[in-house]
Structure 1
Amino acid sequence: MRRVRPRQRAAVIAAGVTTLAAFTLISTSLSGLATATPAHSAPPVKAVPAVAGHQLVHAARNSLTTEQCLAKWHIACYTPTQYRQAYDLNPLYRAGVTGKGRTIVIVDSFGSPTIQHDLNVYSARFGMKSTHVDVVKWGKVPPFNPADSSHVSWAGETTLDVDMAHAVAPDAHIVLVETGVAETEGVTGLPEMMSAEKSLIDRGVGDVISQSFGATENTFPGFNTGDFSSIQNLRYAFKDAAKHGVTVLASSGDGGATDNNTKNSTTDYPYKVNSWPSSDPLVTSIGGTQLHLDDKGDRTAPDSVYNDQGASGGGQSHVFARPSYQDGVKQVVGDRRGTPDISMSAAMNGGAWVYSSYDPKAVGWNVYCGTSEASPLFSGIVALADQVAGHRLGDIHQALYTLYAQSAQNPSTGIVDVKDGTNNSYAGVTGYTAVKGFDMATGVGTLDAARFVPSLANEKSTSGP
C-alpha cells in the first residue's frame, strides 16, 4: 500500500510537545460548481498518511508569539502578520493590491468538512476578513471520517493550503477541489486531480492552480525501462492551462535531493531523484526556505534553505530535458529540467500557524511546515500579480528567469538571493548548496513582494504569452 504524498509536514503543538505529521487540506461547499463529475472515475483508495515516522498530536488552545514558541517548544512559529512584513506585502495592500477579482484553485484529496469555519476563525484571530471558499467535489468523495488517518492527513493539508493562499491574497476567491481518490506514489489519484483541473480550466474557473502534492518520478509505471508515457499521459491539464493562460504551481517536495521510495513508506531513495508534477516544465516548482523573524516579522538573519524535519526538494528531472527558459542556468541544471524555480517559507523552525476543527479530538491551533506551505503562499503572489497586470499571467517561467537574469544589477526586480544552507536529505543523500545565484536548493531564491509583484506583472505583460 502506497502512502499519501501531500507536500508538507505538520508540527502540531500541544501539551508542551512538538512533533510532525503529514500535511492536510481544508474544504467547503461550492455554489455554482459543486459536485462535478470527472471524465474517468475510480473507486476510492485507502492510503497510509505520509507521516514519515512523526506523530500527530492534539492541537494547542491558542496561537503563541514567536518568542513564546521559542521559549516553550524551541521553534519559531509565524503568523500571517509576520509573513506580510517579511515578504513586504503591506505596501501592496495599501495600494489596493489584494488579489481582488482573481481566483486561486487548490486541489486536494478528500478535503475538510470544516474549511469555511476554520478559515473564518483563522482570519478573525489575525485581524483579516475571511473569504468564501467554493468547494468542488470531483467524483465520489467519501464522507469525512475522523477515524481514517488518510482523511485527517489530507484535511490538514487542505487547511494549510487555504490559509496560506488567503494570508497572501486576502481578497482572492478560493476554489477548493476535493477528489475522491488519494494521491499516492505513482499514478494513483493523479488522473482524478488532472481531470478536475482541466474541467475547471475549460470552464474558465481559476487564474492560478496550487498543487501541494507529488509523486517520485521513479515510482511511475515504465520509469525503469525509460518509458515515461504514464507521466506524459497526465500532462494534458498543464497543456490546457498553458493554452488558457492559467499559472500552475507545485510544491517541490520535502525529501531534499531525493524522495519517497514506494517500497517502504517511511524511507526515501538512497540516491538523487525528483518528483512530478514539480518537475514538469509547464509547472512552476516552489521550493522551501527558512525565515528568521522576530515577533514583528522583521528578519533577524537572511533566509536559508529549509532543512529541518525535511528539506526543500530540488534537483534534476530524470524525465524532462532542460526547457529553454533554463538555458541561462544550464551550468547548474545541465541538460535536464532543474527544480525548484523559486522558494518561500517552509521550515519547521518557522512553521505556520493554522486553525482546524475537522478532527473533534484535536480542535485548535497547529503549526505546519513543508513546501506544501510554500506553493499556496506563492499562489497568493501570482494572484496579486494578476491583479496588477489586469489579466492572467499564465506560464510565468520565462518572465521569472528574465527577472532573475536582471536581478544581480537591478534589485528592483524583487528577486532576493538565498545563499545559506543545503537540501541534504535524511536519507543520507548529499543535496545542493544555496550559493550566489541560481541553485537547485532554492532556485532563483525568494522574493520581496512589493517589488516582485509589479515586476512580474510588467515583464509578463511586455514579453507576451
Structure 2
Amino acid sequence: MVNIVRTLTWTGVVLSTVVAAAAVAVPSWAGPASPSGADAVPSCAEPAAPGQFRCFALKRTGVRHWKPSGRPARPDGLGPADLRSAYRLPFSRTNATVAVVVAYDNPAAEADLQVYRSTYGLPPCTTANGCFRKVNQRGEAAPLPPPDPAWAGESSLDLDMVSAVCPSCRILLVEADDASPNLLAGVATAVALGARYVSMSWGLPEQELELALDPLFFQESNVVFTAASGDSGAAGGPVYPASSANVVAVGGTSLRRAWNWRGWSESAWSGSGGGCSAYIAKPAFQRRVTACTTRATADVAAVGDPSTGVAVYQTYGDSGWGIDGGTSASAPIIAAVYALAGAAGGPGAPAGYPYAARHGLFDITSGSTGTCTPSVLCTGSPGWDAPTGLGTPNGISAFAPPR
C-alpha cells in the first residue's frame, strides 16, 4: 500500500502540470465523429474543452432483440461464442487481472456485468467472489466520481468485451474523476494495484506533450497497454495514447459470418483510425513498416464496426441490451487476448510481439477508411496497413512473447 500511495502522490503532482499544458496545447478534433453510418451514434460527445479525452464507443440505433427459448431477451449482436469462434480463442483458466480505465462512475457497472455474463453462461465475476473490483483514480473504493451516462456506455462495453474473451480473468474498473488527463492517473493506479493488462478505449489528437507523458505512464516493462486507434478513419489521423510506441494500437474491422474456410469474413472498418505519428519515433519492431518514417498505427485490430457490432448490456444511460462498436470494442478485446497469451512480463515491447510472429494473425486485405498515398495508410492490404495493422487474432500465439 505504501508503494501505491507514493505512486499516486507523485502522479498527482505530474498531472497538475499536464492538465495546465493540455488546456493550451491540445488541438481540435479533426474529421467526422464517425463515418460509420446514420444507424450509429457516439456514446461520448465531442469534448467541450481542450485537453479532454474522448471515448470511442459507438451505439447502434433501432436494434432488434430476440429471445432464445428459456433465456432473457438479447440483441442480435456478436456474443462471446462468436468472438471465440471468429478469432479461434482458447478457453483459459487464467486469473490475470485486466484493468479497464474510464472517466466518471457507472453506478450499474457490476450489476449490468452480471446480467451479461449470466445471459451467455459465463461464470459470475463479482466483488464478493474477488473477481471484480471498482475504484476511483486514487485506488480507493470511495468516493467515486460523479456518474455520467455517456461514459457508462464505454465502461459497459469494455467490461463485457473482457468478459467475452477471457471469462476467467479478474477485472479491475478504474474510474477517473473526469475525462481530463486524470485518466492517465487512472492508468497509473491500475498498474499500482497489480493489473498487467490495461485497456484504454479513449484518446485525443496528437500533440507534442505526448513526448513528456510517455515516460511517465507507459514505461512499465511488465504491463501490456492497449488503446483504441480512433473512430474517424484516415481523416482523423493517429490519436494518443494509441500512438505511443509503448502501447498496442488497436484498429477496427467489420466482421461477418461467411461460408468459407474460416466461417467469417473480415475487412477494414471505414471508421478505423491510424496513420503516421507526428511526434513519436519509429520503434525498432516496426522497421519493416515502410509507409511511415515515424511510429505507425495501428498494430493489430478486432471487430469495431457497429453495423457488425457486439452485444452489450447497459442500464445506466441506456435501456438494457444494445449493439455497440467503435475501436472502443477492439481495444479491450485485444487486451484480453494478450491476457490469454500470458504476455505480461515477456521481453521487449508487447506492441512488437505480433511483428515478431510468423503466424497467428488473420491478414485483413480489403476495406477502406478513405483515400491516401500510399494506399496502405487507408486500405486493408497484405501485410501491415494503418486501419488494421498486421491483422486480427488467429489464436493467441502472435500475442505471446517471442521465443
TM-score relative to the length of structure 2: 0.77
Shift of residue 178, structure 1, vs aligned partner: 0.3
Q: What amino acid sits opposite 1:441 in the alignment?
A: P
Structure-2 residue corresponding to 1:251:
228
Report how far residue 447 of structure 1 moved: 1.7
For residues 50 and 435 of structure 1, the distance between their equivalents in structure 2, rounded to whole angstroms, comes to 27
CA contact (8 A) 2:291 2:376 kept: no
* Counterpart for residue 156 of structure 1: 153
Instruction: Name the residue aligned to 1:30.
Output: none
Please name the residue that 2:352 is paired with. Answer: 398
Residue aligned with 2:400, SS: helix
Q: How does 1:16-415 map to 2 (within 5 A)?
A: 19-23=39-43, 77-89=77-89, 92-93=90-91, 97-98=92-93, 100-132=94-126, 133-138=132-137, 141-144=144-147, 151-182=148-179, 189-190=180-181, 192-201=182-191, 203-217=192-206, 220=207, 228=208, 230-242=209-221, 245-259=222-236, 273-293=237-257, 302-307=265-270, 311-329=271-289, 331-333=290-292, 335-359=293-317, 362-386=318-342, 395-403=349-357, 406=358, 413-415=359-361
Q: Note closer, same or farther for the CA distance 1:336–1:3 as it changes in structure 2 (3 Å cut).
A: closer
Separation (CA, whole Å) in 1 of partners of 2:328 and 2:174 = 16
**Matched position secondary structure for 2:310:** strand
CA contact (8 A) 2:63 2:322 kept: yes
1:32 maps to none
**Amino acid paired to 1:322:** K
Residue deviations 1:185-230 (CA, integer Å, cap 9, x gap): xxxx12x1222322332x351011110000011xx4xxxxxxx2x2
Specify whether residues 121 and 298 from structure 1 end up closer, same or farther in structure 2 by C-alpha distance, changes over 3 A only: farther
Q: Give the conservation status (yes or no) of the 8 Å contact 2:224–2:350.
A: yes
The whole-number CA distance in structure 2 between the counterparts of 1:51 and 1:137 is 21
Give the distance between the partners of 1:55 and 1:290, measured in 2 at CA.
15
Displacement after TM superposition at 1:439 (Å)? 1.3
Name the counterpart of 1:263. Answer: none
CA distance in 1, matches of 2:135, 2:87: 31
Change (3 A) 1:63 1:275: farther
Where has structure 1 moved over 3 Å in runs of 4 or more? Answer: 1-5, 44-52, 54-65, 139-143, 236-240, 296-301, 389-394
Secondary structure, aligned partner of 1:375 = helix
- What secondary structure, in the 3-state scheme, does the structure 2 residue paired with 1:85 have? helix
The TM-score normalised by the length of structure 1 is 0.68
Cα offset, 1:430, TM superposition: 11
- Mapped partners of 1:297, 1:115: distance in 2: 38
- State the secondary structure of the residue aligned to 1:343: strand
C-alpha offsets along residues 302-329 of structure 1, whole Å, 9 cap, x if unaligned? Answer: 310012xxx1111101111211111122
Pairwise CA distance, 1:456: 3.6
Q: Which amino acid aligns with 1:401?
A: Y
1:58: Cα distance to partner?
8.3
> Following TM superposition, by how much is the alpha carbon of 1:290 offset from its aligned partner in structure 2, in angstroms?
0.9
For 2:121, give the aligned amino acid: G
Structure 2 unaligned regions, length at least 5: 1-22, 70-74, 127-131
Q: Aligned in 2, Cα 1:208/1:283: closer, same or farther, shift over 3 Å?
A: same
- Give me the whole-angstrom Cα distance separating, in 1, the residues matched to 2:51 and 2:135: 21
Q: Alpha carbons of 1:370 and 1:56: their partners in 2 closer, same or farther (altered >3 Å)?
A: closer
1:214 aligned counterpart, secondary structure:
strand
Going from structure 1 to structure 2, the CA distance change for 1:63 and 1:417 (only over 3 Å counts) comes to: farther
| Shift, 1:62, TM fit | 5.2
Alpha-carbon distance change, 135 to 416 in structure 1, aligned in 2, over 3 angstroms: same
SS of corresponding position for 1:378: helix
Residues 125 and 179 of structure 1: CA distance in aligned 2, closer, same or farther (over 3 Å): same
Between 283-292 and 123-132, report the one with greater CA deviation: 123-132
Q: Which AA in structure 1 matches 2:297?
A: T
* AA aligned opposite 2:146: P
Q: 1:122 to 1:64 in 2, by over 3 A?
A: same
Aligned-residue identity in percent: 27
Going from structure 1 to structure 2, the CA distance change for 1:136 and 1:86 (only over 3 Å counts) comes to: same
Retained in 2: the 8 A contact 1:256–1:424?
Answer: yes
Q: Indicate the residue corresponding to 1:440 in structure 2.
A: 386
Q: Quick one: which amino acid aligns to residue 135 of structure 2? A: V
1:32-74, Cα deviation, whole Å (9 max, x unpaired): xxxxxxxxxxxx999898799x988687665789xxxxxxx9x
Residues of 2 paired with 1:456 and 1:106: CA distance?
A: 19
CA distance in 1, matches of 2:260, 2:311: 14
Looking at structure 1, the residues matched to 54 and 398 of structure 2 have their Cα atoms a distance apart, in angstroms, of: 39
Q: What residue identity is the alignment partner of 2:325?
A: C
In the TM superposition, residue 455 of structure 1 has moved relative to its aligned partner by 5.0
* Structure 1 residue runs without a partner (length 5+): 12-17, 25-43, 66-72, 145-150, 183-188, 221-227, 260-272, 407-412
